[in-house]
Amino acid sequence: MRCKGCGYSLFNHRGRTCPECGAPFAPADFEFRANAVEFCCPGCMQPYYGTDPQGLPEPRAFACVTCGASCELGTMVLRPAPGVREDETELHRVPWEDRSLPWRTRFLRTVSEAMVRPSRLGASIAGSREGGSARFLLVLATMASVPTALAVLGFIGFLALGAVPPGSAQFSRSLRAEVAPWALGCAMGVATAVAAVFACVLVVAGLATLVLRIAGTDAPWRRVWPTFAYTSAPLVVCAVPCLGPYCGIYVAGTWWLVAAGIALGTSCRASVGRAIAAVAIPAVIVLGLVLGGAVLFVVMPATAAVKAATAAGAAAATAGPAPADGANDEGDLDVGADASGDPDSEPMPEAGPDPQSEPPPDREVSP
Ligand SMILES: [Zn+2]
Ligand SMILES: [Zn+2]
């Protein structure tokens, strides 16, 4: 039980103001673990224990069984139960789920806890009775993608409107013609980025649940999902406009997986080995899917195009100047098999030396 203003320990005090900073407090402002705190009669220090879900004595006011003095929660002296460390008395909550705080405070505290103390965050998730992690992820993903979108929009706006006097008819025409489509594009970019974050967290958390259950760990979705959703907080580094999405994503991704693995240890009581497996296996699968997709849809077509261009260049180098008709379709990938392929359609004319001045001795001549 620490002062919410300055962090000073408030146990063993009869007053109801913080001795350090003077801020008022009440035991009812806190939540305690069952039987972790003694509530003592102010007259004789007879201890009583908290029995309600908040860890407070029920009823709140009664007559002391030893001295008969009136005991009220507001006047009782609180101290940790024997054998309980002071920092183990409170029932930790995920800061985001503490509705008594303004949302910015809840957000920032959750981000810092996820990044710096994921183990404590995991313990809070284990004891959490509320939800809200999806809303947290929504705020986080939007926050991470909007600055870049705004920076892009601002740059485009600067280019489009830089020389146009504001307020003129031409200004509003330019605004409609150039900036409005870009604004729409940026909004769609933000929506896509948010959807991609949700998809990624969903897939990784789903696979992690599967891995943990196969390994024999009790991994309910209501704990695994918040663990991965809250620990994705390092994504805030992507809020650095333009730079973030390119460099920050690697830092954020690695940080996320490490934090999630540590948090799983307390949220689902997963052993170190299982927590590592629950994070590493989904990460490898997702990375494999992304890389496989990149190879299939980007690298392979690009390689084929380069091969075709090289073959066309070689053909041009050995066959001499090509006829200037340019009949072939641009980007035709089968052109490499054809020695008389049109070199004008491929961007490789400078690949070989001039065939008329010096024929390449080592180049294979196609029939
Ligand atoms: Zn204080
Ligand atoms: Zn008493």
Ligand 1: centre distance to CA 18 (Å): 5
Ligand 1: centre distance to CA 339 (Å): 84
- Per-residue pLDDT for 86 more than 60? yes
Higher pLDDT, 65 or 355: 65
Same domain, 4 and 132: no
DSSP-derived 3-state class of residue 79: strand
- The reported pLDDT for the residue numbered 353 is 44
The answer to whether position 297 is within a domain reads no
Residues with CB under 5 A from ligand 1 (ion): 3, 5-6, 8, 18, 20-21, 23
Same domain, 248 and 189: yes
Same domain, 63 and 153: no
Higher pLDDT, 161 or 286: 286
Ligand 1: centre distance to CA 13 (Å): 12
Number of domains in the chain: 2
- Per-residue pLDDT for 31 more than 80? yes
- The reported pLDDT for the residue numbered 205 is 94
Task: Identify which ligand lies nearest to the alpha carbon of 21.
Answer: 1
The answer to whether position 335 is within a domain reads no
Same domain, 141 and 253: yes
DSSP string, 325-351: T--SPTT-GGGGG-TT--GGGSS-TTS
Query: Of 236, 270, 304, at which residue does a domain stop?
Result: 270
* pLDDT bracket for residue 161 (50, 70, 90): low
Ligand 1: centre distance to CA 19 (Å): 7
Pair of tokens at residue 47 = 């201890």
The answer to whether position 350 is within a domain reads no
Same domain, 82 and 133: no
What does the pLDDT look like over 226-284, one tens digit per residue?
A: 999 999 999 888 887 766 666 777 888 899 999 999 999 888 888 899 999 999 999 99
Same domain, 121 and 237: yes
Task: Identify which ligand lies nearest to the alpha carbon of 23.
Answer: 1
The answer to whether position 287 is within a domain reads no
Ligand 2: centre distance to CA 48 (Å): 10
Query: Of 237, 253, 270, at which residue does a domain stop?
Result: 270
Same domain, 35 and 183: no
> How much of the chain, in percent, has pLDDT values that exceed 90?
38
Same domain, 154 and 27: no
* pLDDT bracket for residue 206 (50, 70, 90): very high
- The reported pLDDT for the residue numbered 251 is 85
Of 36-45, 114-123, 130-139, 179-188, the range with the highest mean pLDDT is: 36-45
Interval 167-187 mean pLDDT: 76
Task: Identify which ligand lies nearest to the alpha carbon of 40.
Answer: 2
- Per-residue pLDDT for 209 more than 90? yes
User: For 12, left (φ over 0), alpha (ψ -120 to 50), or beta?
Assistant: left
Task: Identify which ligand lies nearest to the alpha carbon of 1.
Answer: 1
DSSP 20: T
Same domain, 116 and 140: yes
> How much of the chain, in percent, has pLDDT values that exceed 70?
82
Peptide bond into 59 cis (omega under 30): yes
Same domain, 75 and 148: no
Ligand 1: centre distance to CA 125 (Å): 27
**31 Cβ neighbours under 8 A, 6+ residues apart:** 54, 55, 90, 91, 93
Domain that holds residue 240: 103-270
Query: Of 70, 91, 112, at which residue does a domain stop?
Result: 91
Q: What distance lies between CA 152 and its chain's CA centroid? A: 22
Interval 160-172 mean pLDDT: 70
Same domain, 35 and 128: no
The answer to whether position 322 is within a domain reads no
The answer to whether the CB of 44 falls within 8 A of the CB of 66 is yes
The answer to whether position 294 is within a domain reads no
Same domain, 240 and 131: yes
The answer to whether position 11 is within a domain reads yes
- The reported pLDDT for the residue numbered 245 is 65
What does the pLDDT look like over 273-321, one tens digit per residue?
A: 999 999 999 999 988 988 898 888 888 888 888 888 888 888 877 765 5
